[in-house]
Amino acid sequence: MAQEKARPTRARTTKKEAAAKSATKPTRKRASVEAPGPPHEAIATAAYHLWERGEPGDPTAHWLRAEQELAA
Per-residue model confidence as pLDDT tens digits over 5-39: 777 777 777 777 777 666 666 667 777 776 678 89
> Is residue 59 within 8 Å of residue 51, measured between CB atoms?
yes
| Closest alpha carbon to 48 in 62, 58, 38, 60 | 62
Residue 58 forms part of a structural domain: yes
Residue 56 forms part of a structural domain: yes
Cα separation, 61 vs 21, whole angstroms: 52
Residue 26 forms part of a structural domain: no
Identify the pLDDT of residue 5: 75
> Is residue 38 within 8 Å of residue 67, measured between CB atoms?
yes
- For 70, the domain range is 38-72
Residue 2 forms part of a structural domain: no
Residue 68 forms part of a structural domain: yes
Measured at the CA of 61, the angle between CA 57 and CA 62, to 5 degrees, comes to 85
Residue 11 forms part of a structural domain: no
Amino acid at 24: T
Residue 7 forms part of a structural domain: no
Residue 59 forms part of a structural domain: yes
Domains identified in the chain, total number? 1
